[in-house]
Structure 1
Amino acid sequence: MLEPIKKNWRILLLVVVVLGATVALFAPQFGPQTAPGEDASEAQQGVTNLQYGLDLAGGTRVRAPLLGHTATGVDFGGDQPDTVEQNVAAELDGVSIRDVGTYVEEDAREVEVTDSSVSEAQFRAAMDASGYAYGDIRSGVTQETRDLAESIITGKINEAGLSGGSVQQVQSVTGEYFMLVEVPGEDRNDVVSLLQERGTVQIDIAYPTENGTAIEEAVLTQDDFENIGTAAEREGTTRAYVPVTVRNTAPDGEQSPAHSFQQSVADRGFASAYTDDQRDVCDYGENPDDVSKPCLLLTVDGEVVNSFGMNPDLASSMDRGAWADTGNFELTTNEFSTAQTISVNLRAGALPAELDISGQGTSSTISATQGENYKNYSLVTGVLAIFAVAGMVFLRYREPAVALPMIVTALAEVYALLGFAALVSYPLELAVIAGFIAVVGTGVDDLVIIADEVMSEGEVNSRTVFNSRFRRAFWVIGAAAATTIVAMSPLMVLSLGDLSGFAIFTILGVLIGVLITRPAYGDILRRLLTVR
């Protein structure tokens, strides 16, 4: 029993790979994930679990840069990042500190302004006036801002229930960064509107009354925040928080958001409700209709997504009227992931920098009908390629024992690639289909090399002779595979759009061929051609 398995383990491995690809392609648990608000039947795009990109499913692609300017190689002069932001913002008329950011990573220090009304000359003058030395000023924003924008746009797409949408950062050959947003099945106007709309995010106060829970709405709105920090973990505990700063300035005759919020907190009795014994745990989530003490509610588009209590010291300082001088406080949660969600929710709808869709940006739309046509054309092209290869192989060898295993092995290689695409939910584009066709061509080339080498010197009269000839052929195809991988690697790692998909699947096909299908084909030939 063990001896046949040991002799034919390469063929068995190929069978296992094909079976695994079948499971990935057809098993329901590997199907497309249902987006929030989407019916499960809508997520499944056909009888297989394959997902299709814009080229084959139709939809909209938007490629646009984030507007802003960044000063690189900045010397902070010993100042903290928040101090640098305040000083630079003070030199820019009409610019909030929220529109000035810093980026620190090891020795690299950068300062950015994300207000699109600020020109490079104005930003340069502000940097000079604030006294911070810098190396140069370039168009665009920092890596941290791009990452944040990617996270926010992804959140928008998910919240809108747009299945298959994707967001990534791409870099042009000139070094500029762009946000690439792809949303299958949606037209341009809907996608652009989604990217540009500003969601309603606010903080309410829920407080107990004789008739149950009452809500004081919009004690803080998104415009009231001077600055919104990133989520952080509190040292020594499992809790996390999001630092925020509320504006404490307002036009003459008006009350600032910080003073207004402070008054609302004092009026609702936070200081007496949250003491050292009670701490800052809110019971709104347990029974929203009958709370025992006031709570802060974070709402997004009218829906409560988080509720908070208040630190006793903070509540006391608001009760005394001292807190509004700074406007700083922290939204505390029990989990870091929840704090991250809060930070994103507060920023959602308001990207950290404006997307230049109408300027340097580009957008394109492929109709569903056009995508279906592309899908059909791709299928026809693939079938024609297979028949063409099969015809040439039969003309070359005129021996089914050699040609049939060659065609079957090549098809198994493509089938395994499709299974991988379904397993990782990689959207199929025209470039990926081109990669599949390239894999068929290079794969059959390698199999022809094996067959020619094995049969070049006449009858294979022993397994030893076969193994010797097969090893010579395998060295040739191994060197060719290495060359292909090296040539394709730059296309895979560089942000070159659809070419990345082409390179990824070409390289993956080469690896599957060298490690699985070529050795399996060799075992098949050995069994069919070896005399003894």
Structure 2
Amino acid sequence: MLEPIKNNWRILLLVVVVLGATVALFAPQFGPETAPGEDVSEAQQGVTNLQYGLDLAGGTRVRAPLVGYTATEVDFGGDQPDDVASAIAGELENASESDITAVPEENAVDVTEPSVTEAQFRAAMDASGYAYEDVRSGVTQETRDVAQGIIQDKIDQTGLSGGTVQQVQSLSGEYFILVEVPGENRSSVTSLLEERGTVQIDIAYPTDNGTAVEEEVLTQDDFAELGSAAQSDRGTGAYVPVTVRNTAPEGEQSPAHSFQQAVADREFAEEYNSDLDQCDYSENPDDVSKPCLLLTVDGEVVNSFGMDAELADNMASGSWATDGGFRLTTSEFSEAERIAINLRAGALPADLDISGQGTSRSISASQGENYKNYSLVTGVLAVFAVAGMVFLRYREPAVALPMIVTALAEVYALLGFAALLSYPVELAVIAGFIAVVGTGVDDLVIIADEVMSEGEVNSRKVFNSRFRRAFWVIGAAAATTIIAMSPLMVLSLGDLSGFAIFTILGVLIGVLITRPAYGDILRRLLTVR
């Protein structure tokens, strides 16, 4: 019993891989996750668990750079990022502190105000006294990360199933934001990217009947300055500095004075008289014990805050509105970053150049279905073409049939991996599959030719010797393919990455699983016993 398994374990491994691919392709538990209220059949897009990209499902792809300039290798001289941003903004007439991002980890500073030219930014850097190496087009990694998070949040909050956002880099080194949204046309996607959400600060306060809410105490238009998230001066926690406008048309009350009055009316000073006092809205939203500030985004409460005792006293005395500045404090820096994003009302930290250097592509659902059908026909024709050439070459079913079956098993295993990883199948991925079929059959032909080149195989020892010679050639070719494709996989080049990933994966499956299995099959069929 053990001897047949030992001699044919490579064939058994191929069978296991095919069975695993079948499970990944058809088992419901490996299907795409469904959104609340979404029908399972709609989420799966068919009888298999494969997920399709825009080329095959229809939708819109937008690829655009973020507008701005970045000074590289900046010497901060030990100054804090907020101080650096303030100093540089002070040298620019048409930019504020919120338009400047200083990133010590990258030794870089960027400006995202579209009206600031490269020459003006260089002059501001020189005037502020911070030495730098050069100024390039584009923004810092931190700004790109924030923009990516904001766009992904917009897509998720809108409920667009399958929408993705990623950063890609061109061969020239320029970075782009790549947004893909299945099932949506170009106008709706660009409108989403440019849309400004509704953000406001409310006050929740206790009453005899539970929690009551005073809405729109501050709206996004009431802020004069919105700072970036920063670590607390005390070494723990983080905060977002904001400044409320203290000016208003004659006869009207400024937002700062209105906010100050609302805080005084709700008796924040009496309730928050020590650093230990905390807002309990998140634990008990229906029955708070003291007033709380609520950050509300598109009608949903995303954060709640208490108030520093000194700040509450200044508001109660009426002295705070002259300055209008305060901090929204949190225990985690990541939460402070999220608050800063929400306060900017979904506005990107830098403009997306959609109409300039940006590109967009929209594919209708019917066109995507056509691409899917054409891809299937192309794949079938490729298989028949390969099968025909193999039969013409060998005219021996014992050699040709296992070769074709093994090549198809390789593609089937790749489809299983795509389903398991939830990797969207696009035209570039299908091109990778076809490339795998071609290179795979080439390798199998090398094996068959080498094994049969010197006549009849009269022993297992002779077969193994010939097979090893063929396998060295195949291994060298596989290594060459992997090395050639690796840059396309590592560099974020959009569709080319998918082509490279599945070509490399197919080569690895071939060298490690299907080629050895084909060798065992030939050994059983051709060896003279």
User: What's the TM-score, normalizing by structure 1?
Assistant: 0.92
Q: Which residue of 2 aligns with 1:454?
A: 451
CA offset digits 1:106-126 (Å, max 9, x no partner): xx5222111112222322232
CA offset digits 1:8-55 (Å, max 9, x no partner): 221111111111111111111221222466444432211111111111
CA distance in 2, matches of 1:321, 1:489: 64
Contact map agreement 1:156 1:348 (CA 8 A) in 2? no
Contact map agreement 2:226 2:343 (CA 8 A) in 1? no
Contact map agreement 2:226 2:340 (CA 8 A) in 1? no
How many pairs were matched up? 526
CA offset digits 1:267-324 (Å, max 9, x no partner): 2122322354962141355242x33321221211112233333354554454455666
Give the CA deviation at 1:258. Answer: 4.9
Q: Which residue of 1 aligns with 2:8?
A: 8
Give the CA deviation at 1:441. Answer: 0.5
Q: Which residue of 2 aligns with 1:172?
A: 170
State which of 109, 114, 134 in structure 2 corresponds to 1:111. 109
Q: Which residue of 1 aligns with 2:148?
A: 150
Q: Which residue of 2 aligns with 1:419?
A: 416
State which of 343, 349, 352 in structure 2 corresponds to 1:352. 349
Contact map agreement 1:285 1:307 (CA 8 A) in 2? no
Q: Which residue of 1 aligns with 2:212?
A: 214
Give the CA deviation at 1:85. Answer: 0.7
Higher mean Cα deviation, 26-35 or 324-333? 324-333
User: What's the TM-score, normalizing by structure 2?
Assistant: 0.92
Contact map agreement 1:228 1:242 (CA 8 A) in 2? no
Q: Which residue of 1 aligns with 2:362?
A: 365
Contact map agreement 1:244 1:328 (CA 8 A) in 2? yes
Q: CA, structure 1 residues 413+343, in 2 after alignment: closer, same or farther (shift >3 Å)?
A: farther
CA offset digits 1:153-199 (Å, max 9, x no partner): 11111111112212122223333222111111100010000000000
CA distance in 2, matches of 1:328, 1:5: 73
Contact map agreement 1:206 1:296 (CA 8 A) in 2? yes
CA distance in 2, matches of 1:255, 1:84: 34
SS of aligned partner of 2:178: strand
CA distance in 2, matches of 1:71, 1:478: 46
Q: CA, structure 1 residues 37+151, in 2 after alignment: closer, same or farther (shift >3 Å)?
A: farther
Q: Which residue of 2 aligns with 1:81?
A: 81
Contact map agreement 1:297 1:306 (CA 8 A) in 2? yes
CA distance in 1, matches of 2:94, 2:265: 33
Give the CA deviation at 1:70. Answer: 1.7
State which of 417, 426, 430 in structure 2 corresponds to 1:433. 430
Aligned positions of 1:88-107 closer than 5 A: 88-105=88-105
Aligned positions of 1:20-31 closer than 5 A: 20-31=20-31
Q: Which residue of 2 aligns with 1:139?
A: 137
Show structure 2 runs of 5+ residues with no match. none
Give the CA deviation at 1:131. Answer: 2.6
Higher mean Cα deviation, 257-266 or 356-365? 257-266
**In structure 1, what residue type is equivalent to 2:400?**
A
Aligned positions of 1:182-331 closer than 5 A: 182-223=180-221, 224=223, 226-230=225-229, 241-247=238-244, 250=247, 257-258=255-256, 260-276=258-274, 279-283=277-281, 285-288=283-286, 290-312=287-309, 314-316=311-313, 318-319=315-316, 325=323, 327-331=325-329
Contact map agreement 1:284 1:307 (CA 8 A) in 2? yes
Higher mean Cα deviation, 469-478 or 163-172? 163-172
Does 1:523 pair with 2:516?
no
Q: Which residue of 2 aligns with 1:62?
A: 62
CA distance in 2, matches of 1:476, 1:148: 48
Give the CA deviation at 1:382. Answer: 0.2
SS of aligned partner of 1:215: strand
Contact map agreement 1:36 1:159 (CA 8 A) in 2? no
RMSD (Å), alpha carbons? 2.6
SS of aligned partner of 2:362: strand
Contact map agreement 2:228 2:337 (CA 8 A) in 1? no
Q: CA, structure 1 residues 317+115, in 2 after alignment: closer, same or farther (shift >3 Å)?
A: same
Give the CA deviation at 1:364. Answer: 1.5
Q: CA, structure 1 residues 296+160, in 2 after alignment: closer, same or farther (shift >3 Å)?
A: same
CA offset digits 1:197-233 (Å, max 9, x no partner): 0001222111123454322222233341623434869
Higher mean Cα deviation, 209-218 or 20-29? 209-218
Higher mean Cα deviation, 187-196 or 87-96? 87-96
Q: Which residue of 1 aligns with 2:121?
A: 123
Higher mean Cα deviation, 61-70 or 378-387? 61-70
Higher mean Cα deviation, 337-346 or 405-414? 337-346
Q: CA, structure 1 residues 329+360, in 2 after alignment: closer, same or farther (shift >3 Å)?
A: same
Q: CA, structure 1 residues 2+383, in 2 after alignment: closer, same or farther (shift >3 Å)?
A: same
Q: CA, structure 1 residues 256+423, in 2 after alignment: closer, same or farther (shift >3 Å)?
A: farther
Give the CA deviation at 1:127. Answer: 2.2
CA distance in 1, matches of 2:224, 2:465: 74
CA distance in 1, matches of 2:377, 2:337: 47
**In structure 1, what residue type is equivalent to 2:385?**
A
| Seq. identity, % | 77
